[in-house]
Every structure is written in C-alpha cells, then in structure tokens.
Amino acid sequence: MENRENVKGIAARVAIWSARHRVLAILGWIVFVAATVVLSGMIGTKQADEGTAGHGESGDADRIIAAAGFPEQPAGEMVLIQNRAESDRTAASAEITRVLGTTTGVTDVQEPIQSADNRSTLISFNIAGDPQTAEERVGPVMDAVAKVQAAHPGLYIAEAGSASADQLVTEELEGGLNRLGMLSIPVTLGILLVAFGAVVASFLPVLLAIMSVVAAIGLMAAASRFAPAVDETTHVMLLIGLAVGVDYCLFYIRRERDERRRGADPHRALTIAAQTSGRSIWVSGLTVMIAMAGMYFTQDVVFVSFATGTILVVATAVLGSLTVLPALLSALGDRVDAIKIPGLYRRNSDGRVWNALLNVVLAKPLISAIVAVAALAALAYPALDLKTRGQGIQDVSPDAPVVQTFLAISESFPSKTTPAQIVVKDDSVKSAEFDKAVAGLEAAVQGSGGKLVEPIDVDVNPAGNVAIVSVGLAGKESDSVAVDALNLLRDKVVPDTFGRIDGATALVTGSTAGGVDYNEQLDKTLPLVFAFVLGLAFILLLVSFRSVVVAVTGLLLNLLSVAACYGMLVYVFQWGNFEDQLGFVSGGGITNWIPMFLFVILFGLSMDYHVFVVSRIREGHDRGLPTRDAVREGIGQTAGVITSAAVVMVAVFALFATLPLTATKEMGVGLAVAVLLDATIIRAVLLPSVMTMLGRANWWLPKWLGWLPEIAHEPPAQVTPERPERELIPIS
C-alpha cells in the first residue's frame, strides 16, 4: 500500500480514502442521493412568480399588480372570423355566439367587434374554473368552433387564447421532453459502449451522471428558498448534468485504465488517476461553476435560477466523480472491463487519425494556426450581425393552427393579444382626475396616427387603489413599430395624462415593455458578467498551471469557440437557414437570453477540455520533455477520451434541438456546434500549434507571482518485468 505522504492533492487523498472505505463511500453516496429526493418531496420547489420577475418600469408595474389583490382572471379565449371570399361574417358571428353560449364551461361571451379594415370579427369569451387547468377543458370548445368552420368554407374561423395556447405548449413540450428522455440516456450509453467496448465501464458514467442530476434537483428544492426556480431549470440541469457527469467519469475511468495498461498495480493506477484526472475534474468543475455564477449579476429570476441549478448539478457531478467513483473502481478492479463487446473492445487504441493530424500540425504550426483561425473567423463572421428578440407564441410551433390564429389576431386586433398596460396606483383611482386622464388617453390614441390602438379597457382592483388601463400598440410584439408606439406611450402620453394625477404612480408594462426593459437590463449587466467570468477563470488557470501564458491562451481559445457559436446561431436562426430541417420560422433575431446563457455555459464547458489537455501536456513538461514532445504526448494520449467526451456532449446537446421551442433549438444547436469545434479545430489544431510556437514561453510566470503554490504532476507508473504491460483500453 502506498504511503500517505506520497499521495499529493485533495483529489488523490479523497480517492484513497474512498478506496480504503469503499463500502462506506458507496453507501454514503446512495444515502446522499436518497436524502435529496426525500428533501425535495418534503419541502417542494418554490417557483418564481410575477412578484419576483421583471425589470425596470415593467417589473415595478408587475409587482404592483401582483400585490394589488386583483381577482384571479379566468382563461380567456378568442374566435377570429375573417373573409376569404365575398362571404358574409354576420351569420357566422351569430352562429359562433350561439354555439359558445350552449357549450359547457364557456362564460362571459362578448359582443363581436370588428377590425379597422372591416375584414375581421373577433368574439371573446372565458373558460370557467381554474385558469391553471383550463387547457384540460378547452377541447370541446375548439371542436365546436371547428364544426362552424366546416359549415362556412368561405370564411376563416379559428380559436386561440391562453387555454388553447397552454394546451399546445403542454402537448408539444411534453412530447418533446418525453422523446428527449427516451433518447438521451440510450444515445449516451451507446456512445460509451463504442468508446469503452465493455458494458460495466459504459454503465458507470451514465449511472453516476443520472444520480448527480437527481441529487442536484433535490438540492434545488432547498436552494429555491433563496433563488426561486423557473420551469426550464430542470431541463437545463439535465442537459448540463448528463454532459459533464459523463465526461468527468469518462476522464477518470480512462486514465485509471490507461495506467493499468501501462503496468501499474490497481492502487497505483487509482492514485495516478486521482492526482491527474481527478485534479483536472475539480479544477474544471470549479471553473464551470464560476462561469455559471456570472449569471447572478443579471439579477434576472431566470438566469439566477439557471445559475443555481447548473452550479448544483456540476458540484454533485464533481462530488460523485471524486468520491464514489474511486470506491467503485477499487471494488471492481479489472472487472470494470466485464462483459466485453466483440468488435468494440480493442486491446490497443493508437489514435492513428489524431496522431496523423497532430504530425501535420506540429510540423507546420504557423500555417496550421493560420488555417484554424481563418476557419473560426469565417464561422464567427455572421455574429457581427447578431440581433436579439423576445420570445413569442410563434416560437412554440409555427405551423400549429393556434399559433397561426394568434398571429392573425395580432395583425387585426393588436390590443387583444399583446396590449400595453398602464398601471396606475393612487389612494383612490375612482376619481374625477382618473376619469379625466382616461379621456385624455382616448384623445391621445385618436391622435397617435395609428401607433396606439383602441379599444381601451380599464380594470380596478377591489381596494380601488390600483387600475390597469390596457391599450393596443401598433406593430408586432417586439418589432420597431411596437417599440416606437411604446416609447410614445411612456415618454409623452402617460406623463400628459395619468402623470398629472397628484401623488399617483403611473407605469407601463406588457409584453413589449417587458422585452424592452429586459434587454436594457441585459445590456447593463453584460459587462459585469463578462468581467467576472473572464477574470476569475484567468485567476483559476493561473493558479492551477502557474503560467500567465496558459491562462491567457485558454481565455482566447474559449472566446474563439463562443464567437464561432454565435456566428452559427445567426446563420441558422437569424438568417433562416435550415428552417425546414429544424422545424422553426426565423424571427429575424436570436432569443434575447440565449447569447449570455451560451457564453457562460460554453466558457465553463470549454474549460473541461482545456484543463484536461493542458494538464496532460504539463505532466510531460514537468518530466523534462521539450514542449513539442510534451504537446505530442499530451494531446496524443488524450485524443481518444476527448473524442468520446465530445461525442457524448454533442449528441446530448443536439437532442435539445428536437424540442419544439425555438430557444431550445438555439441552445441545442449552439452548444453542439461549439463543443464540436472546441474538440476538433481548437484542441486538435489551434492549441497544439500555438503551444508549439510559444515553446518554453508557455510556462512563463513573473517573479512577483512566485508565491503561487506548486502543483506537482504525478508521473505515469513504470512497467516492471514482474508485471508485463497490459492493454485494457478499447478504441474510441
């Protein structure tokens, strides 16, 4: 047994303890995961609501509404009737009104209203009962409306509203998520079976990744008391947890098996794996968590929830990789290669393709670097045209009838789909001053040149101190026409009307206002996020490798990866390429939260590969190898595991592009492309060429930073005559 004093580093000490107390370590991990599940079931997860969301003026207005005690509004629905030919809408309107009046669960059927161009009729009504479950009761109404449509083929008659939209989102998302759940784990397992060629070794990373995600979701219940969660957080945790959890285990298992192949005894192999791959795991995990923490600076409930969830899932993945995984490997020994798969399990993984490419790169490092940078620059070029936009109903399923109806209603009746809401708070809004302000608003709408649209609706809370005045905005939800109308309302109309009521607060909210305020908040906090992530990542790399050059190189390479990702997003989703293949309709921009989210996620994940590869190169350097040889050895020995890890990540991320929401497609495509580029062009071409050209300068550290701690790298095990070298690694 190796002496304790020869074991260096936290990861190695934890691994040796786990190996010596493997029953306790394994049972402790199982108890920990089970306890988080019980905790989650006992206390539940606190969800974010209107009182915790929103920014700027619209956020303040939403919080006033949330605290004003308005009665819960029933789910509203609308039926649109439009001319397709020279047909009469009057008879169809009367029939729709009659049908709605006799359909169970329908209440508050309104009188038909006509559009400004007199081509459309709109009939509004509500679904009785709890609005949260109205989607379960809207089906019979939609069937009744469809029958009227069938009886009037010369008209377009269709229904849309909150209940029918919720039904669509539930059906689309549940179907997509079920498909994702059915595919993600089998796809990941299949890739690992090819990588390892052995069933047991393939199941370990998947099992530990799933347990890490389950534990993190349980811990999220407690964390939500401080940072309320949004629904999408669980999906993001699954995305990140499955990717990093599998990768961390993959790094660890492959290094342990590699050392066994070199002739190390089981204890020695486990120690080396812990001191090298184990150290890389906690360094890269810490870097990922630092990157995720940058989202806290946005002060946005969605980003804060994402940050908390991803930090928890990465932390549990690191914990499992450094504790229970060494215990399992110690218990299994060489049985980790049990149930070998014929044709996949190979005794030698020589990486001939990667080594051939590496020979070219190292022979012509300058030319290789120029070619790689040129390729990445070409991919990143479209990012110069990057525009952002808010999410809309068309992002769910653009061809769905409900979505098409919503868009048609927004064209003819903009005040009914995405109206601006003027929130007026006063001691009493039931006053002559308030009525005068409403009259002034009506006059302003008439004189707005079509920028503001009637009708104007007024809703007062039971206490009589808060009123919501709704008015339509021209244009679509987030386009320039709607934003111009919003600016007119905020800058002139509201100050000249409700702003003249002494002591009253008048704020404008609504989907357009919320989008504008959201973008302003992101613009304000983006520099803080970038500075925090880049600054702390630089410090972590500096301390880890005791090199200013390695730290700077790591940041620049990761930024290149992010830029190429942005360029691909613009090319596909903003410019509208591959719409049919991916099932979306371009909205002329990228969903506004995606660029920042991808930056922090990609920057963190890219560090996985950078830390892992550079750590292996540093091992060679510390043994006295010249830079070119250290680069050749480090990248050559990690090419297989990097390929396997990248394929896992790309596959998992690409599955998210199959979900119906445009934002999830952007996230899946962006992450998959970035990881693919990072594992190929950047790590296989640009990194070795740059490090080769820099030579000894790679490890430059100013004398005044000499106080940084020395982190030694364990040399590989020496093969002894008594123990011939064993080849245990299958081809990747």
Average pLDDT of the chain to the nearest whole number:
87
| Cβ count near 355 (within 10 Å) | 13
- Least Cα distance to 469 among 459, 483, 454 occurs for 459
Q: How far apart are CA 242 and CA 645, in angstroms?
A: 11
Q: What is the pLDDT of residue 719?
A: 40
The dihedral through the CA atoms of 679, 210, 184, 295 has a sign that is negative
Q: How confident is the model at residue 725 (pLDDT cuts 50, 70, 90)?
A: very low
Residue 311, CA distances (Å) to 73, 340, 603 in order: 37, 36, 14
Peptide bond just before 455 cis, omega within 30 deg: yes
Q: What is the pLDDT of residues 321-373, one digit of tens each?
A: 999 999 999 999 888 888 888 877 665 555 667 778 889 999 999 999 999 99
Q: Residue 561 and residue 679: Cα distance in Å, rounded? A: 10
In angstroms, the CA 617 to CA 243 distance is: 24
Could you tell me if 18 and 26 are in contact, meaning their C-beta atoms sit under 8 angstroms apart?
no
Whether the predicted pLDDT of 38 surpasses 50: yes
Q: Mean pLDDT throughout 107-111?
A: 93
Looking at the structure, give the CATH architecture of the domain made up of residues 349-399+544-701. Answer: Up-down Bundle (1.20)
Whether 729 shows a pLDDT value over 60: the answer reads no
Q: Per residue in 156-213, pLDDT tens?
A: 999 999 999 888 888 877 777 777 767 888 888 888 888 888 899 899 999 999 999 9
Buried b / exposed e across 191-223, counting CB within 10 Å, b at 16+?
A: bbbbbbbbbebbebbbbbbbbbbbbbbbbbbeb
Per-residue pLDDT band for 375 (boundaries 50, 70, 90) equals: very high
**Six token digits for residue 444:** 């302003």
The pLDDT tens digits for 122-133 are 999 999 998 889
Q: What ranges do the domains of the chain cover?
A: 1-44+197-348, 75-168, 349-399+544-701, 419-509
CB atoms within 10 A of CB 20: 14
The CA-to-CA distance between both ends of the chain, in Å, stands at 32
Confidence of residue 5 (pLDDT cuts 50, 70, 90): very low
CA angle 525, 528, 530 (to 5 degrees): 110
**How confident is the model over 662-709, as pLDDT tens digits?**
988 999 999 999 999 988 899 889 999 999 999 999 999 998 888 877
588-623: pLDDT as tens digits: 899 988 999 899 988 888 877 788 889 889 888 888
| Displacement of CA 682 from its chain's centroid (Å) | 23
- The domain made up of 419-509 has a fold known as Alpha-Beta Plaits (3.30.70)
Strands annotated E in 330-419 = 388-389
Residue 413 is which amino acid? F
CA distance 35 to 506: 49
CATH class of 75-168: alpha beta
**Any idea what DSSP says for residue 275?**
I
Q: How many CB atoms lie within 10 A of CB 683?
A: 25
Q: What integer is the mean pLDDT of 629-637?
A: 89
Distance CA 160, CA 405 (A): 6
Q: What is the DSSP letter of 347?
A: S
Task: Name the pTM for this structure.
Answer: 0.84
pLDDT at 380 over 50: yes
What distance in Å separates the CA atoms of residue 678 and residue 8, rounded to the nearest whole number? 31
Asked if the domains 75-168 and 349-399+544-701 are classified in one and the same CATH topology, the answer is no
The C-alpha angle 252, 289, 595, rounded to 5 degrees, equals 115
Residue 287 confidence (pLDDT) above 90: no
In three-state secondary structure terms, 463 is: coil
CATH code that applies to domain 1-44+197-348: 1.20.1640.10
Q: Report the candidate in 558, 572, 513, 527 with the shortest Cα–Cα distance to residue 385.
A: 572
